[in-house]
């Protein structure tokens, strides 16, 4: 019996270039207004077709039930939706920090949906894959949408947005932030006015951008506040998502290199270039 042939697929991280909390639904989910951008820092998802119909995660993550892993759930969801009899073996090479607000788990799940859509010969439209992705998590659809986006609702209503080229210094404060806990501690009194007023104007300069969850997380985790304070020496840093990672936008690689060289002596992180489209953009129509 021949060994299965694995194909490698990138699952890029994302940054929230701003994040406004604008309301709360009756079911408890908060309504957001945020701008997503992909960056060229990624996990690698490797997939091999199986003819026994099984979905097998060959690289389970410590502390995570393989059956609850988002990649396994994504494959099974797609399998059930399309009544597909093929299976898949999954290997994950994780580079994106967990609990960092970079969307690693969501991106991995989206990459599985996009890659298997092609490998299983399903050719489902992008809109259908986005609907399936939303069942897995609010951040999954944007990775299937595949472009920089202004997101509203719980993050699932997406409109393409044009962004300037940029480089990012991303620092991981070495803490994992549970999203649910952040929103529990979030005060309703600081809700942003609804209306998307001047999003493009806000994006023009980093000084005007903000993340409404940043103060909550900074108070919960001093390490996040420490990184924000350090990066403020070089510009206007921002936390991504519900944390814990903090980033600084730079206009050139040289500028980003200088900042990273200065801060990487003390803090762990990486440099990344902003992307305009997802690397698997062509795997769905």
Of the residues 43, 69, 108, 139, only one is catalytic, namely 139
Phi–psi pair at 268, nearest 5 degrees:
-85, 140
Instruction: Indicate the length of the chain as a whole number.
Output: 285
The yes-or-no answer on residue 258 being catalytic is no
> What is the distance between the terminal CA atoms of the chain, rounded to a whole angstrom?
36
Phi–psi pair at 36, nearest 5 degrees:
-95, 140
Reduced to 3 states, what is the DSSP secondary structure of residue 85? coil
207 touches 236 (CB < 8 A): yes
The yes-or-no answer on residue 139 being catalytic is yes
Give the position of tokens 């039930």.
Answer: 65
Q: Which residues contact 123 (CB under 8 A, 6 or more apart)?
A: 117, 285
The pair of structure tokens assigned to 256 is 């980003």
Of the residues 14, 43, 69, 212, only one is catalytic, namely 14
- Show which residues are catalytic: 14, 139
């Amino acid at each position: 019996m021949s060994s299965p042939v694995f194909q490698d697929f990138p699952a890029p991280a994302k940054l929230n270039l701003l994040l406004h909390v604008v309301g709360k639904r009756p079911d408890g989910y908060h309504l957001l207004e945020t701008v997503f951008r992909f960056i060229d820092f990624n996990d690698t998802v490797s997939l091999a077709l199986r003819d026994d119909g099984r979905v097998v995660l060959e690289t389970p993550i410590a502390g995570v039930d393989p059956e609850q892993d988002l990649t396994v759930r994504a494959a099974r969801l797609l399998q059930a939706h399309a009544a597909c009899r093929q299976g898949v073996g999954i290997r994950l090479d994780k580079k994106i920090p967990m609990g960092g607000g970079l969307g690693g788990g969501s991106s991995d799940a989206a990459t599985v949906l996009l890659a298997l859509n092609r490998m299983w010969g399903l050719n489902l439209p992008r809109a259908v894959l986005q609907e399936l992705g939303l069942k897995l998590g609010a951040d999954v659809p944007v990775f299937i949408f595949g472009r920089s986006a202004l997101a509203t609702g719980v993050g699932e209503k997406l409109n393409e947005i044009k962004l300037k080229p940029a480089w990012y210094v991303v620092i991981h404060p070495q803490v994992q932030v549970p999203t649910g806990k952040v929103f529990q501690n979030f005060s309703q009194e600081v809700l942003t006015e609804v209306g998307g007023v001047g999003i493009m104007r806000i994006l023009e300069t980093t000084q005007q951008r903000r993340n409404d969850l940043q103060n909550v997380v900074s108070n919960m985790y001093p390490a996040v506040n420490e990184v924000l304070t350090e990066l403020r020496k070089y510009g206007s840093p921002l936390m991504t998502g519900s944390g814990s990672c903090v980033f600084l936008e730079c206009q050139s690689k040289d500028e980003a290199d200088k900042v990273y060289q200065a801060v990487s002596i003390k803090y762990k992180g990486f440099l990344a270039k902003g992307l305009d489209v997802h690397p698997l953009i062509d795997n769905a129509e």
